[in-house]
Structure 1
Amino acid sequence: MRHAESVTFGGSGLDRAAEIRGDVPALAAAMQDPAARTVVLWRGKPLVQGIEALDLVRLPLDHPLLAEARHAPVLLGREDGAARFAHDISGWAPADLDTASLGNFVDPSEQVHPAAPEARFAELRRIMNQLGPRDAELAATAKAIHGWHASHGFCARCGAASEVHQAGWQRVCPACGAHHFPRTDPVVIMLITHGNSVLLGRSPGWPQGMYSCLAGFIEPGETVEAAVRREVFEEAGIRVGAVRYLASQPWAFPASLMIGCQGFAESADINIDPVEIEDARWVSREDIAAAFAGRNPEILPARRGAIAHFLLHNWLADTLD
């Protein structure tokens, strides 16, 4: 797929500066550079500013807001030769926090810290399509790596508390010496076609009318192609023949790599597994186009910015090749 990397969270060409992660003097120099900046997360929400097109806020390392951080920052990479870090201030408790909104499918609430009144923390899944490629990659990387640290504080081998190394890109167990690295779970997401129609499904708990491409985790010892065929048959009872790779998207909700593929169905009879999905249906190209235009009352298409929307849009435009 010629423009695969134009998917949200991909293709910004970030210099990740991996060569200085374990170089203590180089890291110290990078942090002392006046041009160094950091992005800030609160409970996985990046700090942004703007109205329609949003900017990811980059704060100097001596900004007073960073006093809320309880752990050292993670090195994300370099921009224009200067280091970019990520701080997490999830321990901060906003005075007017509406906890009810935090459990929504997409959290609409925003939080403003008094030390940065011109900016706010916003849920990344809701704003991802309003960020530029570089800002989106930095925000997703920061969310994924800090999320990994939050859930992997103990050694998986012996259970002892592990320590952060390599500028945030490794955890080492002082008890048994095990090294642990950030987790990424591979997930196949499938554009399954049959003639002029595409197979869409929905999970329980999704907004009314929302449909998307089928998806599922790749199992140990399984190829991408085999995972596509297995997941589609398990969820919808459809046999899939030829499979081809299209594009991928890092998906920090919490730690997946979405591997987008096209599969060609060998049958059209749907037999869903109600434990896996709530519904599945074949949707014509014309009905998908109407849904994208907001003229199909039965189908709410996948959200803009998600790879499912990207795949469906390119299928409609005949630009999968």
Structure 2
Amino acid sequence: MPATSFAFLAGALDRAEHLRDDPAALAALWAAGRVLQLDAEGRALAGEDGALRAVPGSTLAERAGEAVFLGMRDGQGWFAVASAAGSDHDAWVDLRTAAANWPAADATAFAQARAVLHWRARHRHCGACGGRLAFSRSGWLGHCAACDIEHYPRTDPAVIVAVSDGERLLLGRQASWPARRYSVLAGFVEPGESLEQTVVREVFEESGVRVHACRYLASQPWPFPSSLMLGFTADAQGDEPVVGDELDDARWFTRTQVDAALRGASGADGIELSPALSISRWLIERWHAGG
């Protein structure tokens, strides 16, 4: 797999899945463990210096039963809980800010916590019968006592694609993005669809460009709120882009134009690219480098 430079991969915890069914082992890890606290908006509790404030479990004894076990690092357990408020000296930091400023391992743990707590907050009841879910396996399994269905955390796969005609890169923008922001195209996988079929369909739906070959490169967890971005490169015809309902604009950019954007050069045709934390920026940089 090619080397990656985007967020939420480095320093990943050992998820130690076998411990999720071992309450005694988790209880022993809790007191000296590190506990991430996330608010209703998915922000993590930080100190007044803006760094992650992961407190020992011993200071949150009453929360042990509702905590999600994230995994292990250097013999220490990591947990996450939903929290309403911190002290006057605490701050709440969003995931994008954390990815840009925190040590990579802390941001990666935060991303994991955000994804699973978001799932739990929005799946309190059974989707089949409406019964209340009871969570077990340290937060990773929801069980409906009414109809006996088990519910597991949801992840939504999406392709993200660097499309080239051999000389140019296809980039698009959404109306909600900052002015002049462009990125590679992306879209969710539909039921009964392969990843390659999704690449072809999404690129054509969003731009009218026809892909004739594609290749998987790498993936990135993207908990905004629950996606997994599957990065591809694709070869396409040099069709003139025709923007559909999903994009505000789509067009081809030369290597010179992409080079200027990567250097932050301004001008009448200057554009801004995706931030460095994202796999989209990595795909652009890889194409620019001739990958």
TM range (shorter): over 0.9
- Find the counterpart in structure 2 of residue 61 from structure 1: 57
- Find the counterpart in structure 1 of residue 139 from structure 2: 168
Paired AA for residue 299 in structure 1: I
- The worse-fitting range, judged by mean Cα deviation, of 9-18 and 160-169 is 9-18
| 1:71 Cα deviation after fit | 7.3
1:216 to 166, 173, 187: 187
What pairs with 1:1-321 in structure 2 (closer than 5 Å)? Answer: 1-4=1-4, 6-32=5-31, 34=32, 36-42=33-39, 43-49=41-47, 55-63=51-59, 72-89=66-83, 91-92=84-85, 113-114=86-87, 117=89, 119-273=90-244, 275-297=245-267, 298-318=270-290, 320=291
Provide closer, same or farther for how the CA distance between residues 290 and 37 of structure 1 changes in structure 2, counting only shifts above 3 A: same
| 1:29 Cα deviation after fit | 1.8
TM-score by length of 2: 0.92
Q: Equivalent residue of 1:257, what SS? A: strand
| 1:48 Cα deviation after fit | 3.4
Q: Return the alpha-carbon distance in structure 1 between the equivalents of residues 138 and 23 of structure 2.
A: 9
Q: Which runs of 4+ in 1 moved over 3 A?
A: 48-51
- Find the counterpart in structure 2 of residue 101 from structure 1: none
CA contact (8 A) 2:212 2:237 kept: yes
Paired AA for residue 58 in structure 1: A
Q: Equivalent residue of 2:128, what SS? A: coil
CA contact (8 A) 1:287 1:296 kept: no
Q: Equivalent residue of 1:56, what SS? A: coil
RMSD (CA atoms): 2.0
Unmatched tracts of structure 2, length 5 or more: none
Q: Return the alpha-carbon distance in structure 1 between the equivalents of residues 150 and 177 of structure 2.
A: 38
| 1:230 Cα deviation after fit | 0.4
TM-score by length of 1: 0.84
Q: Equivalent residue of 1:288, what SS? A: helix
Residues 241-281 of structure 1, C-alpha deviation per residue, up to 9 Å, x if partnerless? Answer: 110011100000000000000001123311111x1111101
Q: Equivalent residue of 2:58, what SS? A: coil
Q: Return the alpha-carbon distance in structure 2 between the equivalents of residues 211 and 279 of structure 1.
A: 9
- The worse-fitting range, judged by mean Cα deviation, of 239-248 and 294-303 is 294-303
Q: Return the alpha-carbon distance in structure 2 between the equivalents of residues 76 and 13 of structure 1.
A: 10
Percentage of identical aligned residues = 38
Q: Return the alpha-carbon distance in structure 2 between the equivalents of residues 50 and 189 of structure 1.
A: 36
Residues 91-126 of structure 1, C-alpha deviation per residue, up to 9 Å, x if partnerless? Answer: 33xxxxxxxxxxxxxxxxxxxx326x2x42111123
Residues 131-152 of structure 1, C-alpha deviation per residue, up to 9 Å, x if partnerless? Answer: 3331121000000000001111
Give the length in aligned residue pairs: 288
CA contact (8 A) 1:71 1:88 kept: no
Paired AA for residue 255 in structure 2: R
- Find the counterpart in structure 2 of residue 109 from structure 1: none
Paired AA for residue 293 in structure 1: R
Provide closer, same or farther for how the CA distance between residues 238 and 158 of structure 1 changes in structure 2, counting only shifts above 3 A: same
Q: Return the alpha-carbon distance in structure 2 between the equivalents of residues 82 and 222 of structure 1.
A: 41
Paired AA for residue 25 in structure 2: A
Q: Return the alpha-carbon distance in structure 2 between the equivalents of residues 13 and 302 of structure 1.
A: 23
Q: Return the alpha-carbon distance in structure 2 between the equivalents of residues 84 and 278 of structure 1.
A: 42
Q: Return the alpha-carbon distance in structure 2 between the equivalents of residues 185 and 234 of structure 1.
A: 19
